[in-house]
């Protein structure tokens, strides 16, 4: 298995579904997140190509003028049940302009049972972000949540849906636990040993591994969406507006108004909740390894991007008696794309 390399990264926006993959090596990683979909692949020059878009859509009035304008502006949309559905990143922009919330195919890390158009929309979004395979049966390693520690949710149906989508696109699907993908992406210099945490929109996924082998994997059913929903509830803001304010630039160590104070309160609570559950799992699991040396904890995902995240994480870590010695707590080198990169490493390693 290859360890982490400082390959050049190409961020390739736009719809990949119509692109012919002429300069790409086989093997693809796909991060199926509640908030974002991210794919990673290698060019023949060993450059990493990243494609990403929000896992969201919004329906607007469908008429010939709207459709023509969307086409001219290059906005990705489909017509579904008579409505014009704007897909991906533009859906988030439309939601904030019209003071609405986006519709989400996924909730808390899984296909949403409450969204009637979840399946047709997620199929289109996945096709847009992965495009066509470059060889028949190309391996696509996609992320799945670990079994939640604090909720009754089953991964079987969720996993089966995405296996079917990828097979119909011509890929050979392989699933990978999300936190394990973080270990592959970020802990190569540590012989793939340590704790990888994917801090996503729907949930946090945690994996403790020793030399690539996952010893403990689980998830918690809280993430960035949980923060946004609670901040919106206590401030009276729509959830999408709370998300926008959070992403525009809040420092958890220096809140400047009541809304930012609310964001800090829920972030700190979520981080503490995560650490307490890791500690509980480690002290009760029979598969807990005996690490010969102190390990690293690496946080990835969009929810970890906010300024001050690692400082608050370290602060909360000091408040609990962690059962093993930790040498460092750090953020992933490429937090938004870490799971997709780790999944790509796994896909290439299998090939």
Weakly modelled stretches of the chain, pLDDT under 50: 2-6, 20
DSSP assignment of 72-129: HHT--EEEETTEEEEESHHHHHHHHHTT-PPB-SEETTEE-TT-TTHHHHHHHHHHHH
SS3 of residue 209 by DSSP: strand
- Integer Cα distance of 127 and 14 in angstroms: 12
315's enclosing H/E stretch is: helix 309-319
Q: Which pLDDT value is given to residue 277?
A: 96
50 and 340 Cβ atoms separated by less than 8 Å: yes
> Which of 161, 262, 176, 157 lies closest to 217, judged by CA?
176
344 and 28 Cβ atoms separated by less than 8 Å: yes
Contacts of 101 (CB under 8 A, 6+ apart): 95, 238, 239, 240
- Integer Cα distance of 35 and 88 in angstroms: 10
Class of domain 9-55+113-224+259-350: alpha beta
Q: Which pLDDT value is given to residue 8?
A: 54
- For the chain, where do the domains classified as CATH 3.30.420.40 start and end? 9-55+113-224+259-350
> Which of 140, 308, 278 lies closest to 207, judged by CA?
278
Q: Which pLDDT value is given to residue 2?
A: 44
Q: Which pLDDT value is given to residue 14?
A: 52
pLDDT tens for each residue of 21-45: 557 889 999 999 988 999 999 988 8
Q: Which pLDDT value is given to residue 199?
A: 96
76 and 88 Cβ atoms separated by less than 8 Å: yes
The two structure tokens encoding residue 88: 């991906």
Q: Which pLDDT value is given to residue 5?
A: 44
Q: Which pLDDT value is given to residue 259?
A: 93
pTM: 0.86
Torsion sign across C-alpha atoms 314, 315, 316, 321: positive
Q: Which pLDDT value is given to residue 260?
A: 94
């Amino acid at each position: 298995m290859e360890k982490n390399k400082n390959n050049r990264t190409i961020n390739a926006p736009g719809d990949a579904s119509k692109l012919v993959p002429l300069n790409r090596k086989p093997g693809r990683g796909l991060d199926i997140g509640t908030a974002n979909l991210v794919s990673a692949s290698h060019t023949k020059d060993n450059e990493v190509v990243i494609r990403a878009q929000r896992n969201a859509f919004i329906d607007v009035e469908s008429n010939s003028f709207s459709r023509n304008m969307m086409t001219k502006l290059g906005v990705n949309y489909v017509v579904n049940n008579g409505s014009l559905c704007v897909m991906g990143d533009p859906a988030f922009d439309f939601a904030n302009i019209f003071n609405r919330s986006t519709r989400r195919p996924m909730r808390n890390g899984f296909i949403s049972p409450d969204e009637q158009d979840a399946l047709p929309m997620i199929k289109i979004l996945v096709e847009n972000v992965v495009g066509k395979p470059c060889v028949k049966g190309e391996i696509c390693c996609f992320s799945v949540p670990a079994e939640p520690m604090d909720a009754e949710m089953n991964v079987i149906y969720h996993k089966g849906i995405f296996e079917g989508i990828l097979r119909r696109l011509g890929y050979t699907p392989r699933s990978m636990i999300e936190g394990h993908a973080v270990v592959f992406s970020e802990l190569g210099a540590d012989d793939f040993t340590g704790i990888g945490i994917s801090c996503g929109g729907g949930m946090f996924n945690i994996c403790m591994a020793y030399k690539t082998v996952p010893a403990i994997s689980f998830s918690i059913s809280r993430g960035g969406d949980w923060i946004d929903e609670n901040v919106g509830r206590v401030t009276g803001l729509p959830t999408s507006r709370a998300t926008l304010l959070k992403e525009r630039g809040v420092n958890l160590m220096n809140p400047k108004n009541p809304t930012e104070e609310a964001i800090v309160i829920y972030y700190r609570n979520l981080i503490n909740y995560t650490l307490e559950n890791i500690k509980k799992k480690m002290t009760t699991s029979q598969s807990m390894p005996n690490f010969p040396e102190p390990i690293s904890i690496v946080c990835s995902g969009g929810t970890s991007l906010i300024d001050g995240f690692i400082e608050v994480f370290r602060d909360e870590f000091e408040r609990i008696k962690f059962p093993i010695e930790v040498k460092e707590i750090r953020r992933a080198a490429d937090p938004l794309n870490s799971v997709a990169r780790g999944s790509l490493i796994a896909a290439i390693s299998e090939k």
